[in-house]
Homo-oligomer: A and B are copies of this chain.
Amino acid sequence: MKIVQLSGGVGGGRLARGFAALPDIDLTVVVNVGDDADNHGLSICPDLDTVVYTLAGVEGPEGWGRADDTFTLNTELARFGVDNTFRLGDRDLALKLFRTTALRAGTPLSKVTEDVATSFGIRAEVTPVTDDRVRTMVRIGDGWVTFQEYFVTRRHQDEVADLRFEGAQSATPAPGVLEAIAEADGLVIGPSNPPLSIWPILAVPGVREAVSAHPRVTAVSPLVGGKSVRGPADRVLISLGLGSGNEGVANSYSGLIHRLVIDETDRNQAAEIPDIEVVVTSTMIADAGEAARLAQLLVAA
């Protein structure tokens, strides 16, 4: 059975781990690149790396970065007066350095990602939505800032007034992405931040159309008890005028999804979501067993 999952970072990676644990699933994870950045001249792809690390079971304790990592290089950088608040571990930096060199040599990001996934023994296909440069820009009070400025430097405290995805209009889907979506038996949008992590995927020409054309699209809500499990999704949905709670999630995917999976703590919100099927279950998937259970439910239903 072919499953394609659209994914941001931590939540998406955890659901992908659930699919990967099931037998007879041919999984393709199409990952957001809008958060990508250059830091100290290195190629930073937060969502791709989180998905790869999570599928490999080597993710850090907070979901991103590597387990058992050290921060020797990052700490030493402070000596030179450079901003090292974007903390990168030594093991994690090896991947960044490898990718930076490969990209400079002309290897497409999708090929580098495939090689990286293979080097971690991952059987699922993990691919950036595009090999082209897409950068999520966030409008906050004073003007537009990069995603990393908004999220890391300013700790996602600002109200998000608008989003744009620089470069998306002229980007091309990575090889195989549209085909994978078209051929998928199940198309799943992971429990990621809809505007910040999934919209930049949909913004790549052809992707939104491919998703709309799919007969069976399920989104997993990133909210539990009406709030984001991590990050600012709940607040962003409201500040962008999409509405609060899972109504906001459903609105963010308007015309795209046939089914929304919400957490059992938000059972009372089911009635507020018109036109699509709502599935109520536990969406807490921090451990691999819970993730596999949710993935099984998505595959079966």
Contacts and interface: CB of A to CB of B under 8 A. Distances in A.
Interface string A56-82: 000000000000011011101101111
Among A41, A77, A97, A98, the one with the most B-chain Cβ atoms within 10 Å of its Cβ is: A97
A104 B115 CA distance: 27
Given A72-B91, A91-B72, A41 B77 contact: no
A101 interface: yes
A123 interface: no
A174 interface: no
How would you classify the secondary structure of chain A's contact residues: helix, strand, loop or mixed?
A: helix
B90 A73 contact: yes
Contacts of A42: 97
Contacts of A98: 40, 77, 80, 82
A85 interface: no
A265 to B, nearest CB: 40
A287 B74 CA distance: 31
A100 B90 CA distance: 17
B97 A79 contact: no
Interface in A84-101: 90-91, 93-95, 97-98, 100-101
Nearest to A94: B76
A162 to B, nearest CB: 30
B101 A73 contact: no
The 7 nearest A-B residue pairs measured at CB:
A76-B94, A72-B90, A80-B98, A41-B101, A73-B90, A73-B94, A76-B91
8 contacts: A41-B101, A72-B94, A76-B94, A76-B95, A77-B98, A79-B94, A80-B94, A93-B93
Given A41-B41, A41-B101, A80-B95, 11 more contacts: A40-B101, A42-B97, A70-B72, A73-B94, A74-B94, A77-B94, A79-B94, A79-B120, A80-B98, A81-B119, A82-B101
